């Protein structure tokens, strides 16, 4: 079992654009309200890491 969790590092997100990681999440666990930093539904997230590779600001990290 993957014990990692996805953390949104708001301080790394400029919050001025549509998050490129939201549409690539395979289980639709990422949501974005306006240009705010995205939020993750950890009940849905399967810790695949795709979003962490897609965010150029390293605002999405698996720890
Ligand atoms: S780790 Fe995978 S499942 Fe979880 S939010 Fe990121 S893309 Fe979605």
pLDDT tens digits for 5-61?
999 999 999 999 999 999 999 999 999 999 999 999 999 999 999 999 999 999 999
Residue in the structure block whose two tokens are 């539904």: 41
> How deeply is 27 buried, as exposed, middle or buried, from its count of CB atoms within 10 A (0-12, 13-18, 19+)?
exposed
pLDDT for residue 1:
58
Closest residue to atom 6 of ligand 1, CA basis: 51
pLDDT for residue 24:
97
31 Cβ below 6 A of ligand 1: no
pLDDT for residue 62:
96
27 Cβ below 6 A of ligand 1: yes
Architecture of domain 6-62 in this structure: 2-Layer Sandwich (3.30)
pLDDT for residue 63:
95
pLDDT for residue 45:
98
**Where do the domains of the chain lie?**
6-62
């Amino acid at each position: 079992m993957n014990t990692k969790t996805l953390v949104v590092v708001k301080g790394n997100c400029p919050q001025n654009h549509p998050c490129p990681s939201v549409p690539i999440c395979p289980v639709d666990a990422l949501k974005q309200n306006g240009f705010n930093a995205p939020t993750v539904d950890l009940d849905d997230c399967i810790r695949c890491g795709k979003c962490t590779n897609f965010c150029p600001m390293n605002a999405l990290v698996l720890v």
